[in-house]
Amino acid sequence: MLPAVAHAQNAAPPAELGGSIVQLVLGLAVVIALLFASLWLLKRISAPRGEAAGLIRVVAGTAIGPRERVVILEVGGTWMVLGVAPGQVSALAEIPRINPAAPSTPPPPGNLPGWLQRIVDRRHAR
């Protein structure tokens, strides 16, 4: 009779184990939901508002090295082509705003340096 009681006591913990796993999964889901909510709130708070929201806009950017980029910023009606490296930002060119819908606007693929050189030459020719 004693072994039957011991066997009944050993059968009870798996049911408790299932309940604790459900509690663990629900707790993890709550923590993940709080993380996403706080990230959303942080993004919402740090977003520029009013006039500052449309003052500067990144139009395009591409990596030209492991830590170097060429970025096109729109400031008002002007596009600025900037070279960005660690600790340094250099103005490469300033061009009038280009309509992105125009088919002849984008440079041919693989010829970005030539396109930028033509823009710089046109600017200095003025």
My answer on whether 19 and 6 are in the same domain is yes
pTM as predicted: 0.41
Tally of structural domains, the chain: 2
Q: Kindly indicate the confidence band of residue 41, based on its pLDDT and cuts at 50, 70 and 90.
A: very high
Secondary structure in 3-state letters for 29-61 = HHHHHHHHHHHHHHHHHHCCCHHHHHCEEEEEE
Q: Kindly indicate the confidence band of residue 31, based on its pLDDT and cuts at 50, 70 and 90.
A: very high
DSSP reduced 3-state for 74: strand
Structure tokens at 31: 């923590």
My answer on whether 31 and 80 are in the same domain is no
Structural domain containing residue 104: 51-125
My answer on whether 25 and 8 are in the same domain is yes
My answer on whether 37 and 71 are in the same domain is no
My answer on whether 109 and 92 are in the same domain is yes
Give me the residue label for tokens 């060119």.
93
> What is the length of the chain?
126
CB 81 within 8 A of CB 94: yes
Q: Kindly indicate the confidence band of residue 70, based on its pLDDT and cuts at 50, 70 and 90.
A: very high
Nearest to 113 by CA among 83, 87, 89: 83
My answer on whether 64 and 42 are in the same domain is no
Q: Kindly indicate the confidence band of residue 39, based on its pLDDT and cuts at 50, 70 and 90.
A: very high
Q: In percent, how much of the chain has pLDDT > 90?
A: 22
